[in-house]
Chains A and B, each alone.
Chain A
Amino acid sequence: MFATKGLIYTDDDRALAKLMSGYWGRFAATGDPNGDGAPTWPRYEVAKDQHLTIDVVPSTGSQLRRTQCDTWDQVRE
């Protein structure tokens, strides 16, 4: 993301940097990371509990670390 000096980048690294920078830039501009042909990042809904795994080829899933999250959900102030 910040092109840290001294590291060696592969084509996959560069592709991922471009994808992520695009998501961030569009989110900053419009509040929606989607667009420019990037794989769709689904809007979060509690009922679906979806997430996007950001990689060279992103994928969507749901209920990430559900057990751990449910534990935290039980913690009340």
Chain B
Amino acid sequence: MTVEAPPRGIDVLELEKLPAPRSPKKRRRPATARRFWMTAVVVAVVASALSLGVGRQELLNSGGWPMVRRFFAAALNPVLTPEFLRLTWDASLTTVAYASVGTALSVAFGLVFGVLVSQTWWGLDSGGRRTLWSRGGWLGARGLLGLPRGVHEVVWGLFLVSVLGLDPLVGVLAIGIPFGAVTAKVFSELLDEAPGHAFRALRASGAGRIKAFAYALGPEAFPDLLSYSFYRFECAVRAAAILGLIGAGGLGYQISLSFYSLNYEEVWTLIYALVIISGLVDLWSTLLRRPNRNRFRVRPQGECGSGPAMQRDRFVNLSLAGFVLLVGVCTWHLGLSISNLWSPRTRGLLGDIAVQAFPPDFSAAALSSLWGLSLETVAMSVVAIALSTVLSVGMAFVAARTVGDAGAGHGSAAALAALASRAVLLFFRAIPPPVWALVVLFVFLPGPLPGAIALGLYNFGILGRLMAEVVENLDSRPVKALQAQGTVGARSFAYGVLPLTLPRFGGFSLYRWEVTMREVVVVGVVGAGGLGRLLSAQLNAFDYRGLVSTLLALVALTLFADVVGASVRRAIR
């Protein structure tokens, strides 16, 4: 089976979860492993759905439908008064500011630590000399990054709010720290993947490691580093909106205020602002990551720089300059001052928390509640991803209508359908999961299931986009061949598109599941169950001993998801 080379942008996405390159050892019989995991997935979905109460108890609150109707009717009627638009503008600026300054911080962090945790730095690349010290050093540095990565932005946000108070630093750091750790991991892998011979040549001529990184691996990996950084910016916009909901200000905060005061018309104004911002950032990042027009591929010998390549250069340079400018303006807008980080009050609070947090709460009662809530968290993540996968595959089917294009007359209709599906997906991912949870709670009785559904709807926006991109970049020849013999619609989709895309669809669902395991916390904070609810309760009660054990449980869940994800990926590869 041959699939056309996927666009670079998507590869970069997956890198986050890519296992380290393996030596070609003997493998278990892949067919058996695949069957095992497929059965396991089905069992997991059914068991999770049952455990959240599907089919066993009353779930719907039929009295809620008029509320849902009111909420969506308000979409046609957003508040557009000058005062409110002004407020929306300020809130938008704050959200963008958290996202951009947080991204800048995480990229800076990623550059420094990405170098420090790369295999090349520790001499584990093909040219280096392996020693016990270098192996141990690499594993140690790599392990240290796991902790900030395993804890979700919202958890960082909640923690930082209790230390720093309502300082704008909270929003920036809550994004910068966990994103920085992920960025460092991905950067290190990109640097290790860059062609190493120039690096080795410089080392052989006596250049030190930092200088050789700056002159060889850095410039070689630059396009991928840039593309990943802008992908992070996309994620940061969504994270900034979510952080607003826990009080960090910006659009998320205003949405929650308007929502709780039942001003749905205001909510929609703010949601539209969020959709526009997300759309613009997504567009910017997509243009930079566009595969075929990549400026950086080394040209064949003798071929000189051509016009489009130069334009591309200019676009990249302008984008970089624009981003730096944006970060500058945003730092000013937020009035950031790092002095609060070292103020006596902060130090005192940190010291108090450190003293109160130990030893962590490992009593039998705490452990049994942690165990139950962990299972609930897993079940929620599985149901959420099952829901978003079903929706996304359906959406990919719509997107697939652009593939092949058998009848020339279908061109514009197909383009329209593609555009519409893009807009729908954008809408679904621009609304933060806690807001989805509040909407779902109109019709569902409170509990973990509405939280899972909310996460599923939000992930549909992300997963659907990834899958649509796969379909659009598909090798269209098999489908065309099928259409030429008169097979159209669902049958050509099933025979021409699905077999080529299913492995990647599976990969993306898996990737999103691993991410969602962490994101369950987000809906938990608004009361939808899982470990998040426990966590926010503990924070409000200043129960730091319990908090530490909950955090440990969260990190353990993240590790569990990583391990399962890696095994499944190996089996379906």
Are both chains from one complex? no
